[in-house]
Structure 1
Amino acid sequence: MSPNVRDNDFGALDVPVTWKKPPLVSIIVPNYNHARYLKERLDSIYNQTYRHFEVILLDDCSTDGSVEVLKEYARKYPENTRLVANEHNSGKVFHQWNKGLELARGEFVWIAESDDYCDRNFLETVLQGLRHQSVMLSFARSVFMQEGKQIWSQEEYLADLPVVWNAPFIMSAHKLVSKAFAIKNVVPNVSSAVFRNIGTIPADIISQWEQMSLCGDWLFYLWLIKGGAVSYTNRVNNYYRIHPGSTSLKIQKTLDYYTETLQISCFVARNYAVDAAVFEVVKKNLIQHCLEKQCITVEEVEKAYSLDKIKESMADRQPNVLICTYAMMQGGGEVFPIYLANELKRQGIAVTFVDFRGERGEKEIRQKLDRNVPLLALPHVLQLRNVMTMLGADIIHTHHGTIDSAVANAIGNRSFPCKQVVTLHGMYEAVPEEELNKILKAVLPVCSCFVYIADKNLLPLKHVQSQIRLKKIGNGLPYLPLSPYSRASLGIEEDAFCLSLVSRGFLYKGWMEAVEAVKRANATIQRPVHLLLVGDGECYEALKQQDLPPFIHLMGRQGNVRNYFAMSDAGLLPSYFKGESFPLVVIESLMSGAPIIASDVGEIRNMITDADGGVAGALFELKDGKVPVDTLTDIIVRLATDSSLYGELKRRVAPVARKFEISCTARQYIDVYNKVWKNVEPTA
């Protein structure tokens, strides 16, 4: 692969997924008084060559017999059709969009407007672009139709933009907005587009959309694709019906068209790294439009489209952030970045999640990344510099020593516009000295700020602390809905004392010591003590070969581990891992309502201590670097038999857990990003 990839070849930088089975597409058909067009529209949907779809028919209180037509198709295709008819008109099209999105079960969404139609292979073709997980929206060529005849083409509509539309392409949102999408809505009709199911449209976008009569869909697309990519194909057609005297044509002759365009430009300025010259082009086009329509004066246009307001919006832009992970796999340094990326997106940051694919990914870990966060599966580390350029990256945030050095080498020197932030999760303390020296040789001259989560993370950097930027930020997680698993289904007595140990099944995570301690506890007291071991690895494989007692449960790798903590009396982490710093499973346990029994390593003591100095669990010290089984047994026995002591620890859990809300953690990282980006020294 060439080291230089063209702007419209972004797909070459993102490894596409292979679908084991066709993904479900939710087709939303919002209708209002389009009875005369419905059969052509619906036939073009139900006759698609791609068959794995559901159809959500929405009627907004039509008065022309539309409902009867929709009922006919709902009866004809009952296995994949739902009809929802409003008794009162909703007043705004986005209300119907959101209603459809609330009902949509598919991985992808196609809003097929009720008066348009398309080629039979439309879905099959457009979906190809969405195999790339960075692609948030994929759209096809539109043919503008009136009274059954073509009156305009996509190529004519977009002829003034510096993008070639006569061949399919995938382009990063950053590049497409800079070249075209900031100037004109390049998706002239929503029926031409299929996008990722991101849930309902957020309130802040809706509040802006409510003020618009024409440009709301343009705003939605710009929000949707931020940090990701867009796919286009000219190999199939969407037929966009233009009605003489339509509302949109009327609005283009009013001042609203110009003020709404200003709103769009301000949104672009706040959310995309575009050159100010782009807005000069927009203004020029608006003046030309005004002269052609002869509807309002040039002076009114210049007043309505204020470049000064756009300049103010540009000053509010936050940096574009790439969050990098070694692999989509279990581990604090892999899972925390996912939750951070989700929260950064929620707080309005343009974020892209980059998977370096260091190991084979795990499906349940991939599912933790929100659907509205673009995921780029990097084909080769040598393409990283291309990725940073095409995404307009301002900050690249890494969480693993191997990736730290790869990114540092890609940036090369601090003259490159992208700045590196490294979070130290404990790996630097655990790797051999020779490997550590290689990492530091690459990273130290480039990294703009090292974030550490535990004081011990600084030991490998003690000789250079005075020369680097440092900031301490603890890990955080989101609160998630809990559905505790049934004890009865696992053969666990309701009155048993139940422990959950969640980690990779390595010796240094204390699996074997935990098993021995629970065996001794059961031999000491009458109350049954059960241990759930959640995870896989060498200890899991070894224990599978043993004849284990019924109170030891090997659960293997699982998805939502909090449901195990929620059914347990306590979490357990008897780790003697040298790199243990700020373990996420401690937070998972606390956020599930379970106190934690853990070795007193890294930041665990500080993590579980409340404002009054009380702890939401029980700690023990390592002995000669290993877990003292007798001590661990005594703790388990005490908590299992002393309800007063256990109750005291349990009461501290909720207040301590609130310290780790991911929203607060993300705000601290955003502050670091901005200071690094603007070359302001972060406060330690």
Structure 2
Amino acid sequence: MVWIAESDDECAPDFLANMVPHFKREEILLAYGNISYINADGTPNSDLSNYYDGLTDLDWSHSHIVSAWRAFTGPFAVKNIIPNVSGAVFRKPILTEAEKSRLTSYTFAGDWYFYALIARGGSIAFCNEARSYFRLNRTSTSQKAFFSEKHLSEHRMIVQDIRKLYGIKENAIQLHAEELARVLKHRIPDISVADVARLIDTKEQGPRDLRICIASYGFTVGGGEIIPIEIANALRTRGHHVTFLALMQNFHDDIPVLRHRLRNDIPVIYWDEVRNNFQGFLNEYGIELINSHNFGVEYFLYCSGTQINIPYISSLHGGYESVEKEFLTADFIAYVRRNVNEWLYLSEKNIIPLTERGLNGIHFTKSFNALTLRPANAGLELRIRQSLNAGNDSVLLVLASRALHEKGWQTAIEVTQRLRAQTNRDCRLLLIGDGRDFDAIRAANLDKHFVHFLGRLDNPCPVIDECDFGIFPSTFSGESFPLFVLECLQSGLPVVATDIGEIPSIMTTTTGEIPGQVVSRNQGEQLLINEMVQALAGMIDDDARLRSAKRAARIAGERFCIERLTDFYLDTFLRYFH
């Protein structure tokens, strides 16, 4: 959090003690206190005591929390309701270069624009008990500029900016003109509201920013949880309002390892906070579109009886084919038919549970997964070889996934053991992740010194970077577009994997090269193990083949960058607003 306090301003000793607790709520991005003037000598000044008079919708006689959308389409569009930045605390934002440039073009109203930027998608808290004192200096630059042409120019700028950011209507602009005319009358008695309205008149320019709810299971590790975070971050970077809805909060003994991947300035709402009035949540935040990334979102909405009256796009990550079939009742299918406008799927098998139950003739669109593209050797160097006491000629294989038998952990162990015997090389296997079968798999392989169980890592990429090959013998029914394979390719690692889901297309470059090998999952386990061993041994023993596979890996990985995926999602979203 950030607090900007000027040296000549003052506050009550408990100002921060009153303000900081508000930020335990993850949707609050900005908070401000009860701000008063003091004179140059520190004595009280009551000039701000009627500052909020005439403003409707909010009551400053007591503390309250309001969404940024409701504030900036209401009183915050009429006047700057935070008279001095010393009375505000906010989460540290990430601004684009264009936003910074616009911000620094302001002379005295930049704080107003700044608040509009940093609060997008979230909530603003007013704390009546937090007292802040703004020292009034009547010879200050802002006082001198207040009644200048620049003052009117900046009001024109702020109206234009809030209009683009929040889509404010003509009635809000009219109220802004009325408030400004009231202030200006002290210096320009014959000025009218019509005069002011004409001077600050601005037309809506270009496409405005969207207000999007990205809904996910939560912040546990998994491909279905990483992608919505990546998309939310990318959309926020492009200036859109993003409100992140998580179905589940992590328990005290279950660290939300993915939480830090979501930008600090993206607000988080939890299902339990809105389940009793979901429509009220959508209205309060001005949400225009919902993008769900988990079966549970649709199911929870169905159970709550909520009907959605805005565009709803569901992104399928394999959840529907892995969920218990008794959840996919006729009533539930009828509900999603009414409420889901479009389904984005990764693999044809994602939509089979829906089409088998009569969801034919609706809008299915094929999508893909992606990650933020990282340069070679990006991230933390962990010196994995040194920590494992592995030599430069050791061969490091890596598999990162949930620890499930169906994900192929035991198969990968058997492949590594045979590979060691066939190549006479020090081949090691690094297993990243945890899950249902972690303890059982580790207990069954305590005698295998070449297997290293690294447990759950929120970011496996630094480990993958230092390995030689990815291995992915998954037969998991919910496998669609595994991010682990993308992470390997972006790190330049050849991969040997089964042909489940979209792996064959992921593993094929536009020129038909394959950075490793794809093996059939529809064969006996021993045949599968043998084919993987031969594929890996062939690259280990052939330097030219290995170099070619590494080059093809980076080429294949470049196709799945988050910028392309964000373009795809935005094109999909914008179809519903034309």
Kept in 2: contact 1:116–1:240 (CA 8 A): yes
Q: Specify the code of the residue in structure 2 equivalent to 1:433.
A: K
Aligned residue in 2 for 1:172: 67
Deviation at 1:154, TM superposition (A): 5.0
Aligned residue in 2 for 1:500: 398
Q: Is 1:606 the counterpart of 2:498 in the alignment?
A: no
Aligned residue in 1 for 2:427: 529
Deviation at 1:626, TM superposition (A): 5.8
Q: Is 1:284 the counterpart of 2:284 in the alignment?
A: no
After superposition, residues 222-621 of structure 1 pair within 5 angstroms as 222-294=116-188, 297-298=191-192, 301-306=196-201, 309-310=202-203, 312-313=204-205, 316-357=207-248, 360=251, 362-380=255-273, 381-407=275-301, 412-413=306-307, 416=309, 418-437=310-329, 439-462=332-355, 464=358, 466-480=360-374, 481-486=378-383, 487-546=385-444, 547-621=446-520
Secondary structure of 2:44's aligned partner: strand
Deviation at 1:377, TM superposition (A): 2.5
Secondary structure of 2:539's aligned partner: helix
Runs (5+) with no aligned partner, structure 1: 1-107, 679-684
Kept in 2: contact 1:608–1:656 (CA 8 A): yes
Alpha-carbon distance between aligned partners in 1 of 2:335 and 2:43, rounded to the nearest angstrom: 62
Moved more, 376-385 or 403-412: 403-412
Kept in 2: contact 1:141–1:154 (CA 8 A): no
Alpha-carbon distance between aligned partners in 2 of 1:441 and 1:153, rounded to the nearest angstrom: 60
Give CA deviations for 1:149-172 in whole Å, capped at 9, x if unaligned.
222365511222121111111211
Kept in 2: contact 1:576–1:626 (CA 8 A): no
Alpha-carbon distance between aligned partners in 1 of 2:111 and 2:263, rounded to the nearest angstrom: 22
Give the TM-score normalised by the residue count of structure 2: 0.93
Alpha-carbon distance between aligned partners in 1 of 2:189 and 2:380, rounded to the nearest angstrom: 60
Which of 521, 530, 545 is the equivalent residue of 1:630? 530
Number of corresponding residues: 564
Give CA deviations for 1:258-317 in whole Å, capped at 9, x if unaligned.
2211211222221214433111111122222332221895576344211xx34x24x722
Alpha-carbon distance between aligned partners in 1 of 2:82 and 2:317, rounded to the nearest angstrom: 43
Kept in 2: contact 1:499–1:569 (CA 8 A): yes
Secondary structure of 1:354's aligned partner: strand
Aligned residue in 2 for 1:145: 38
Q: Specify the code of the residue in structure 2 equivalent to 1:182.
A: A
Q: Specify the code of the residue in structure 1 equivalent to 2:127.
A: T
Alpha-carbon distance between aligned partners in 2 of 1:471 and 1:171, rounded to the nearest angstrom: 36
Aligned residue in 2 for 1:676: 576
Give the TM-score normalised by the residue count of structure 1: 0.79
> Structure 1's 532 and 296: CA in aligned 2 closer, same or farther, altered over 3 A?
farther
Moved more, 235-244 or 315-324: 315-324
Alpha-carbon distance between aligned partners in 2 of 1:346 and 1:119, rounded to the nearest angstrom: 36
Kept in 2: contact 1:408–1:446 (CA 8 A): no
Deviation at 1:254, TM superposition (A): 0.9
Alpha-carbon distance between aligned partners in 1 of 2:368 and 2:9, rounded to the nearest angstrom: 52
Q: Specify the code of the residue in structure 2 equivalent to 1:198.
A: P
Q: Is 1:644 the counterpart of 2:544 in the alignment?
A: yes
> Structure 1's 302 and 388: CA in aligned 2 closer, same or farther, altered over 3 A?
closer
Q: Is 1:188 the counterpart of 2:80 in the alignment?
A: no
Secondary structure of 1:262's aligned partner: helix
Kept in 2: contact 1:563–1:592 (CA 8 A): no
Kept in 2: contact 1:324–1:399 (CA 8 A): yes
Give CA deviations for 1:47-71 in whole Å, capped at 9, x if unaligned.
xxxxxxxxxxxxxxxxxxxxxxxxx
> Structure 1's 476 and 224: CA in aligned 2 closer, same or farther, altered over 3 A?
same
Kept in 1: contact 2:36–2:49 (CA 8 A): no
Deviation at 1:471, TM superposition (A): 1.9
Secondary structure of 2:59's aligned partner: coil
Aligned residue in 2 for 1:35: none
Sequence identity, in percent?
27
> Structure 1's 289 and 556: CA in aligned 2 closer, same or farther, altered over 3 A?
same
Kept in 2: contact 1:600–1:622 (CA 8 A): yes
Alpha-carbon distance between aligned partners in 2 of 1:466 and 1:554, rounded to the nearest angstrom: 44
Runs (5+) with no aligned partner, structure 2: none
> Structure 1's 340 and 665: CA in aligned 2 closer, same or farther, altered over 3 A?
same
Alpha-carbon distance between aligned partners in 2 of 1:450 and 1:225, rounded to the nearest angstrom: 30
Deviation at 1:579, TM superposition (A): 1.5
Secondary structure of 1:444's aligned partner: helix
Q: Specify the code of the residue in structure 2 equivalent to 1:501.
A: L
Moved more, 473-482 or 108-117: 473-482
Deviation at 1:479, TM superposition (A): 2.7
> Structure 1's 409 and 446: CA in aligned 2 closer, same or farther, altered over 3 A?
farther
What's the Cα RMSD here?
2.1
Give CA deviations for 1:233-272 in whole Å, capped at 9, x if unaligned.
1112111011012111121101211221121122222121
Kept in 1: contact 2:471–2:496 (CA 8 A): yes
> Structure 1's 139 and 383: CA in aligned 2 closer, same or farther, altered over 3 A?
same
Alpha-carbon distance between aligned partners in 1 of 2:524 and 2:213, rounded to the nearest angstrom: 37
> Structure 1's 612 and 177: CA in aligned 2 closer, same or farther, altered over 3 A?
same
Q: Is 1:665 the counterpart of 2:562 in the alignment?
A: no
Alpha-carbon distance between aligned partners in 2 of 1:497 and 1:242, rounded to the nearest angstrom: 69
Secondary structure of 2:133's aligned partner: strand
> Structure 1's 559 and 413: CA in aligned 2 closer, same or farther, altered over 3 A?
closer
Q: Specify the code of the residue in structure 2 equivalent to 1:437.
A: T
